[in-house]
């Protein structure tokens, strides 16, 4: 989506300990943010109801469940998730069986499936510990190819890999990049980080930003800063 407005490119990760806190954030961010991610932390404390409420209020919602299980279970989970009327759902992009099952479960619904390639907090050493001899970028590329072959709409990857994924996948395949930080800011537990400019210029469609916005003294001002950086890159 080369011409999407800056606002449509920013996804704010609602990683908060309670629904009330997430609702406060959404109210404060107001019109600055049109796209939210509901993930594992919030889903166990009423996140699905909030996701539906956000959709009813005209926002887009990314349900970050990072599914990984046997094909039959993934297919049925995705079929039920498709009924929620949300926009994006994540499935781990480790193998073709899981991803093909997810595509079967999605059926004709409009839910977009995104494959998690290699988590942005993992390094080459972490992969070696898992018994994987590939470097993160090569593994991301390999999993992105499998995701595309399986019928996925796109991938989650670091901005560091966006350019190579775009070159491999061509236009139209969604690249969504977490691990986004402004120069000089704290990296928290993230490892393969990039700036918003570098991710967008590399070909990312969306950047996912959590703590740099949600834990800022003024989240709305922080969101506006990220939007400014996205606009600079477009």
Binding-site size for ligand C5P (CB under 6 A) equals 17
Run of H or E residues at 72: helix 71-82
Task: In angstroms, give the least distance from the CB of 79 to ligand C5P.
Answer: 23
209 binds ligand C5P (CB under 6 A): yes
Binding mask 140-169 for ligand C5P (x = CB under 6 A): ----------------x-------------
Per the CB < 8 A criterion, the answer to whether 102 and 82 are in contact is no
HSE (CB half, 13 Å, CA atoms) of 124? 5
Pairing status of strand 88-92 against strand 35-38:
unpaired
Task: In angstroms, give the least distance from the CB of 47 to ligand C5P.
Answer: 12
Q: How far apart are CA 120 and CA 158, in angstroms?
A: 6
Instruction: Provide Rg for the chain, Cα atoms.
Output: 17
Candidate residues 116, 165, 223, 230; the one interacting with ligand C5P per rule CB under 6 A: 116
Candidate residues 102, 114, 207, 208; the one interacting with ligand C5P per rule CB under 6 A: 208
119 binds ligand C5P (CB under 6 A): yes
Per the CB < 8 A criterion, the answer to whether 118 and 140 are in contact is yes
Q: How far apart are CA 107 and CA 130, in angstroms?
A: 33
List the catalytic residue out of 37, 55, 59, 66.
66
- Token pair for 79: 């079929």
39 binds ligand C5P (CB under 6 A): yes
Run of H or E residues at 116: strand 112-116
**Which C-beta is closer to ligand C5P: that of 159 or that of 179?**
179
**Which C-beta is closer to ligand C5P: that of 64 or that of 124?**
64
Footprint of ligand C5P (CB under 6 A): 13, 15, 39, 64, 116, 119-120, 156, 178-179, 188, 190, 208-212
Residues with catalytic roles: 66
């Amino acid at each position: 989506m080369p011409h999407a407005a800056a606002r449509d490119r920013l996804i704010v990760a609602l990683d908060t300990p309670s629904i009330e806190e997430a609702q406060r954030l959404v109210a404060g961010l107001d019109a600055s943010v049109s796209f939210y991610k509901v993930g594992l932390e919030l889903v166990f404390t009423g996140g699905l109801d909030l996701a539906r409420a956000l959709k009813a209020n005209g926002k887009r919602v990314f349900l970050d469940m990072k599914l990984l299980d046997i094909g039959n279970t993934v297919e049925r989970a995705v079929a039920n998730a498709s009924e929620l009327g949300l926009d994006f759902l994540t499935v781990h992009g480790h193998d073709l069986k899981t991803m093909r099952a997810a595509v079967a479960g999605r059926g004709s619904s409009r839910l977009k499936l995104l494959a998690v390639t290699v988590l942005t907090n993992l390094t080459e050493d972490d992969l070696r510990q898992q018994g994987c001899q590939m470097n993160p970028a090569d593994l991301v590329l390999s999993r992105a190819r499998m995701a595309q072959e399986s019928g996925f709409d796109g991938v989650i990857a670091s901005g560091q890999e966006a350019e190579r994924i775009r070159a491999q996948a061509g236009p139209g395949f969604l690249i969504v990049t977490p691990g986004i930080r402004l120069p000089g800011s704290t990296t928290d537990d993230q490892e393969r980080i990039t700036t918003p400019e570098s991710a967008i210029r590399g070909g990312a469609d969306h950047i996912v930003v959590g703590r740099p916005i949600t834990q800022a003294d003024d989240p709305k001002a922080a969101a506006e800063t990220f939007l400014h950086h996205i606009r600079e890159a477009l």
